[in-house]
Structure 1
Amino acid sequence: MKSLENHFLIAMPSMDDPFFKRSVAYICEHNDDGAMGLVLTHPINVTVGELLDQIDIDNDKSNSASGQAVLAGGPVKVDRGFVLHSPKRGFTSSQALSSELMITTSKDVLETLTRDDAPEAFIITLGYAGWSKGQLEQELLDNAWLVVEADANLIFNTPVEERWEKAVKMLGIDVAQLSLQAGHA
């Protein structure tokens, strides 16, 4: 199977796991050892400004980024933060995921988020979603997920509560047409 890096996993309506129900996950890494992604659809009751306060990083509460919700990125290592951001030079630890997206766990990006030198767009997640070797491939065979190429516009410019439906529409599918039954030709 080809790598699903820089793709969205869109939960099928039949997904009953409360964490992944109606979720969209961005796949950061996918190889023979498994996959790692960030769920983009579950805000938690913490803002960027509050999170920065908790980790003793000065921030400007008057900046709109300060009020942005932090997301639950997945059930694994929920004490670890990830910043998915638009490309910006000067952050030594940010890794390019595509021409439109970079990821980091480094403090240097966090320090800029409510300043003028911040990346143009970003989201913060706590935790990540992980799949062991072959697990994601099996879930795809089990009809748990739809797959579409990632779009930074959905990540940065679509309200959280609209991301699942918009991701489904990227496939050219009406949500009402999705079947709960798995079928394999």
Structure 2
Amino acid sequence: MLHEDAKGKPEATVEGFLQGQLLIAMPGIGDPRFDRSVIYVCSHSEQGAMGIIVNKPAHGLTFAELLTQVGIALEEKYLEHAGLQHAGLGGDKPILLGGPVEPGRGFVLHSRDYASSDSSLPVSDGIAMTATVDILRAMARGTGPERSLVALGYAGWAPGQLEMEIQENGWLTCKAEEDVLFSDPIELKYERALAELGIDISLLSAEAGHA
């Protein structure tokens, strides 16, 4: 689950890299773990890349159940806050499968109205990532970020690997719209991300080039 410290923070942004962008899996990506995946890139530098899949639910696991597993009580203020800020999802807010690496570790992507000076990593102007239990405690109290998603695990690439996969038409890339990240129903994020590029999913083929 989420760590009590912030060890292993991703590298800082390097101009021209893909941090803060979305990756959209092409039909011919060749790895069933990433089929129809939309990935938010949290870090991308000469040392490699790290991202969170934002459209794969961990079936049978809700936010309330995750809190129970880590010994945190869901308070009434959270439910009031969630009703206003999370479309009424409350404790039923789904947990996502963030990727195949460290599937037992939790990550929260969130708006930057919440920040922990010790553990929150700014990713873009509006989005940060926190991987400590403190943010879950804040969310359970109703004092967490206005917009958030919680994921278990992440996707990682060795130096140069992601660039090669993009060149080989494994991924499309586009700007990360916050509504696609946080507001869209999970099952519609793939189509919505493609729509941001003006692509009709019914016309998408494995041979198409990258944006």
**TM over 0.5, yes or no?**
yes
The alpha-carbon deviation at position 100 of structure 1 amounts to 1.3
2:121 maps to which of 95, 111, 114: 95
Which deviations, in whole Å up to 9, do the C-alpha atoms of 1:18-41 show, x marking residues without a partner?
Answer: 211011000000011110000011
1:178 maps to which of 189, 197, 204: 204
Measure, in 1, the Cα distance between the counterparts of 2:44 and 2:200: 28
Deviant stretches of 4+, over 4 Å: none
The alpha-carbon deviation at position 177 of structure 1 amounts to 2.2
Distance of aligned partners of 1:17 and 1:59 in 2 relative to their CA distance in 1, 3 Å threshold: same
Residue range with higher mean Cα deviation, 173-182 or 131-140: 173-182
Q: Percent sequence identity over matched residues?
A: 41
The alpha-carbon deviation at position 101 of structure 1 amounts to 0.6
Contact map agreement 1:66 1:114 (CA 8 A) in 2: no
TM-score w.r.t. the length of structure 1 is 0.92
Q: What is aligned with 1:67?
A: 92
Q: Which runs of 5+ in 2 are unaligned?
A: 1-14, 80-88
Measure, in 1, the Cα distance between the counterparts of 2:57 and 2:75: 21
Which deviations, in whole Å up to 9, do the C-alpha atoms of 1:56-110 show, x marking residues without a partner?
Answer: 1121378243211100000000111001111124523212111211110112111
The alpha-carbon deviation at position 16 of structure 1 amounts to 3.8
Aligned length: 184
Measure, in 2, the Cα distance between the counterparts of 1:15 and 1:75: 16
- Tell me, what secondary structure is at the counterpart of 1:19? helix
Contact map agreement 2:25 2:38 (CA 8 A) in 1: yes
Q: Find out whether 1:27 has 2:48 as its counterpart.
A: no
Alignment of 1:110-129 (within 5 A): 110-129=136-155
Distance of aligned partners of 1:124 and 1:89 in 2 relative to their CA distance in 1, 3 Å threshold: closer
TM-score w.r.t. the length of structure 2 is 0.82
Contact map agreement 2:114 2:145 (CA 8 A) in 1: no
- Tell me, what secondary structure is at the counterpart of 2:139? coil
Contact map agreement 1:15 1:144 (CA 8 A) in 2: yes
